Structure formats: structure tokens, C-alpha cells
Amino acid sequence: MSRTPLYDAHRALGARMVDFAGWEMPVQYRGIIEEHAAVRTRAGLFDVSHMGEIELRGAGALAACQRATANDVGRLRDGAAQYSLLLDPGGGIVDDVIVHRLDAERLMLCVNAANRAADLAYLREHARGADVVDVSDATALLALQGPRATAILSGCTALALAEMPRFTFAAAEVAGRRALVAHTGYTGEDGWELYLAAGDARAVWDALLEVGAAHGISPAGLGARDTLRLEAALPLYGHELGPDTSPYEARLGWVVQPGKGEFVGRAALLAARARGPRRLLVGIELVDPGVPRAEYRVLRDGEPVGVLTSGTKSPTLGKGIALGYVDPAASAVDTALAVEIRARAAAARVVPLPFYRRGGS
């Protein structure tokens, strides 16, 4: 099993390690609910070095990235990032990625750990004209998230963080080490992601925890990362997204930019859009007690109308929440549904997404 450069740090912090996509990763340190609350109210530090980083380099890099991704890379300036999708020719989702434009001849894609090999093969096939370079093993990735994240990071870098809009990034020194500092994240909170040389990860991790101590920082594991992203209704590959899901069904139509010109899956997507969705991703809240979970069936008037893709008891809201695909006819907000939990049909309803939005509402 693979280990990140922070494996020893996790063990020293008493983390419970689990196998995640072939990586030995911390699922929790002191407890998922405590770590979740730390991110919502103060700050959490995640090691997400298992994620992959693949660069497209050379004079053909931009054009290659336009062909290989669904969003419009032409909208990016140097130092800007974009959520995007890799699609197969049938319009199914190969991966969801963040594209970073370093400059006109160098783009960096942050990809899901489980899809790294598939993405690499995909890009070698569909991003011809660019040099496709997997820099994952040399790169560590930390995510510092939460309302105190900017104050903590400010204590470790001279970079003018307040002047960086969301989805921009800059090269800077953090705790004396070179980093790519990105104003991105996956928790529903404000925060930062730091791309580092693998050998620098431990020094920066320790510095952030030290500076963050006064702000109530907590190391946070993959368990909290999952409950946080679910409250924020951020899709997860393998759950909400996969080769059988269309971006339109996943309500990611805003990511797909057919107007930009040809890209892999474009024709299939246009056809899918014309046909209309067979099912739609919705937010479901349990009215009855219980914990909704992935793969549980969704019923309407006793008849199956869909299936959950992710679910949990929301630590912030104290209710069972879930994402799932249902028949479009059962997708309107406030539709009364039920979730089949063991032999019981627990009353539920469709709610607006996200379940949780930073700063209330």
C-alpha cells in the first residue's frame, strides 16, 4: 500500500489509518464529529497527498486541455483554476478534476487518487500535442480549511492572501518552503490547498499545526472530509459521479461548455441534453430518525424511484442527509419520499442544495 510523506506524522497524532484507493490514509484522529466541527468553526488540516497531479506541458498544452476537458480552459488566466470533467466519448464521467493554468504552456490537473492511472491513460490518448507528465509522486497536497484558515496561513507566508479571489493560486514560500498556494477546497468552508515538494510536506504540516494551535486547528481525516463535502453537496467520484452518470444528471451542466468547440464527449452530451435527464441528483433529508447511506433505495408512495449515492447523519444539522439519483418526476424540492433503511421506510423529502452553506441560510 502507498503512504504519503506524512504517514509518520499521522501515526504520531494517533490517527486511525485505512486503505483508501490503495493508500494508507488517516480516516480520523480524535473523532470525525470533532474534526468536522473544527473545520466548520475554526480550521482543519487535511493530508490529501494521495490525490494525483498531472501536468500538460508544451506549446500544445492549452489546445490539448481544451480537447480533453469539458469546461472552457480558454477562460483561465495564468494563476487561475477551474473545476472540470474528463468525459469519455459517450459523455460518461471519467473523473472530476481541478485544472490550474500555470502559464500558456503548462497546466496542472489535480485528479482523484483512485483515477490517477486511468486519467493518465486518458490524457495520453486525448491530450495529444501536449507532454503528459505525472508529477504525483513528487507532490504532496495539504488542505487547510475553515473560517480561521486564512489567518493561520497568513502566519506562515508573506503572500497577500486577502487579494486572492477563490479559484486563483500563486507560487509562494510557506514556512520557508516553496509551495503553490491555491484558494480552493472541498469542505464548503473558505480555505487553501498547498501543493508542495514531497520532501517539504512534513515541515509545512508541522508549521501549520503550530501556528494554528492558537486558532484551535485540528488535523482532520478522510472521515470528516466526506461528511463536510456531503453537507456542502460536493459530488464525489465513485458515488455521485462515474462512467454511467451524465454531467446533466449530476447537475454539472454549468461545467460543460459545448460552445467552446470540440472536446471528448461533446456530441454525446449535446444528444443527452436534447433527450433530457433519465434521473436527477437531489438532496434528501430524512424526516424520520435514521441514517441514510449510499445504495439505499428511495421510494415514493411505496414504489422505488431512485437510489442514494452518499448519506450520513449531518454533524452540523443533526439530521440524516443524502444525495441520490431519482426520477425527474420525483426531483422537485419538498417532494415527499421515503428511504428504505433495512426493512423500514423512513420518511424523507427533497431539499434544496447545498444542505449547508457557509455563513448561514
Partner 1 sequence: MEFPDDLKYSREHEWVLVEGKVATVGITAFAEEQLGDVVFVELPAVGDKVTKDEAMGVVESVKAVSDVYAPVSGTVLEVNDDLPESTELVNEDPYGDGWMVKIELSDPTDLDELMTAAEYEAFVQEQQE
Contact flag: residue 324 with partner 1 (CB under 8 A): no
Nearest distance in Å: CB 31, partner 1? 5
Size of the site for partner 1 (CB under 8 A): 17
Residue 16 CB, nearest approach to partner 1 (Å): 8
Q: Is 227 in the site for partner 1 (CB under 8 A)?
A: yes
In single-letter form, the type of residue at position 296 comes to Y
Shortest spacing between CB 317 and partner 1, in angstroms: 12
Radius of gyration of the chain (CA): 20
**Do 246 and 272 contact (CB within 8 A), yes or no?**
yes
Nearer to partner 1, 313 or 358 (CB): 313
Within 275-294, which residues bind partner 1 (CB under 8 A)? Answer: 289-291, 293
Cα separation, 243 vs 315, in Å, equals 30
Closer of 16 and 251 to partner 1 (Cβ): 16
CB proximity list for 300: less than 8 A, separation 6 or greater: 326, 327, 330, 335, 336, 337, 338
> In terms of DSSP H, where are the helices of the chain?
7-12, 32-41, 61-68, 116-126, 149-154, 201-212, 222-231, 266-275
Q: Does 31 bind partner 1 (CB under 8 A)?
A: yes
Nearer to partner 1, 20 or 167 (CB): 20
Q: Contact with partner 1 (CB under 8 A): which of 9, 25, 32, 51?
A: 32
For residues 17 and 29, give the distance between their C-alpha atoms in angstroms, rounded to a whole number: 9
- Does residue 312 interact with partner 1 by CB under 8 A? yes
Consecutive H or E run containing 305: strand 303-313
Which of 61, 315, 338, 356 is close enough to bind partner 1 by CB under 8 A?
315
C-alpha distances out from residue 163 to 3, 100, 149, 156, 215, Å: 35, 18, 15, 16, 22
Shorter beta-carbon distance to partner 1: residue 31 or 147? 31
Question: Which position among 12, 254, 342, 359 is part of the footprint of partner 1 (CB under 8 A)?
Answer: 342
Cβ distance 119 to 95 under 8 Å? yes
| Interface with partner 1 (CB under 8 A), residue from 7, 9, 23, 28 | 28
235 vs 311, beta carbon nearer partner 1: 311
C-alpha cell recorded at residue 203: 515541515
Say if CB 88 and CB 80 are below 8 A apart. no
Q: Among 13, 21, 33, 287, which residue sits at the site for partner 1 (rule: CB under 8 A)?
A: 33
Pick between residue 31 and residue 238 the one whose CB is nearest to partner 1.
31
Q: Which is nearer to partner 1, 219 or 265 (CB)?
A: 219
Q: Residue 27 interacts with partner 1 (CB under 8 A)?
A: yes
CB 146 within 8 A of CB 219: no
Output the smallest distance, CB 301 to partner 1, in A: 25
Find cell 493530508 and name the residue: 47
Binding site for partner 1 (CB under 8 A): 16, 27-28, 31-34, 223, 227, 289-291, 293, 312-313, 315, 342
